[in-house]
Amino acid sequence: MGNGISDQSCVFSNLPFRKSLHITILGLDSAGKTTVLYRLQFNEFVNTVPTKGFNTEKVKVALGRSGTVTFHFWDVGGQEKLRPLWKSYTRCTDGIVFVVDSVDAERMDEAKTELHKLAHLLESQGVPMLIVANKQDLRNSLTLAEIEKMLALGELSASTPWHLQPSCAIIGDGLLEGLEKLYDMILKQRKRINQQKKK
């Protein structure tokens, strides 16, 4: 972006809190992004079809000690031809949920490439990333340590907070815990930005 969009350029980012947090759900096709979205929305499994564009839902989620938080989720298709559009959905986003298929070792390198492209794009903004290791219930799923290594999460910029969360979107395991982590990272980033502005 020529005009250098950053967290300061978003009109709402100066507010201590917004009524609804803008969260973008990304990842390769068939990783389970839409299953994650509808599990959070309806608290039940919804049979989905590949997303050709995007789905959007406002979801109120009860997060343990944080109370009820409203998330405005944008679930964007992960097919290769749609990935260039991802950056349009990440402008002024509060957080990213990046879903990976824990069983699909063959495409983990492709997921890594897209994740690092995304992180580089958002680096100056310090947008927190929740990496959801979906399908952890399956017997042949990769371990979290294997996924962390294959995605080279340790190589992400220090300005990009991230958390790797094991989950099973079909039954919802790990999703609320992951959102709690994401919410905490968002609050910490806002606090840090506000402190920098005061200096």
Q: Is 133 annotated as a binding residue?
A: no
Tell me the catalytic residues. Answer: 79
Model confidence over 104-148: pLDDT tens digits? 999 999 999 999 999 988 776 789 999 999 999 999 999 999 999
Region 145-172: what's the mean pLDDT?
Answer: 94
Q: Is 135 annotated as a binding residue?
A: yes
Q: Is 95 annotated as a binding residue?
A: no
Using a pLDDT cut of 70, give the percent of the chain over it: 84
Handedness of CA 176, 167, 127, 26 (dihedral sign): negative
Q: What is the pLDDT of residue 78?
A: 74
**Whole-angstrom Cα distance, residue 77 to residue 44?**
21
pTM: 0.85
Q: Is 34 annotated as a binding residue?
A: yes
Antiparallel, parallel or unpaired: β 95-101 and 162-166: unpaired
Region 182-198: what's the mean pLDDT?
Answer: 86
Domains and CATH numbers, the chain: 20-197 (3.40.50.300)
Q: What is the pLDDT of residue 61?
A: 86
Task: Write the DSSP symbol of residue 14.
Answer: G
Which residue would you say has higher pLDDT here, 2 or 172?
A: 172
Contact 183, 67 (CB under 8 A): no
Q: Is 30 annotated as a binding residue?
A: yes
Contact 151, 104 (CB under 8 A): no
Question: b or e along 133-167 (b: 16 or more beta carbons within 10 Å of the residue's beta carbon)?
Answer: bbbbbeeebbeeeebbeebebeebeeebbbbbbbb
Q: Is 136 annotated as a binding residue?
A: yes
Q: Is 51 annotated as a binding residue?
A: yes
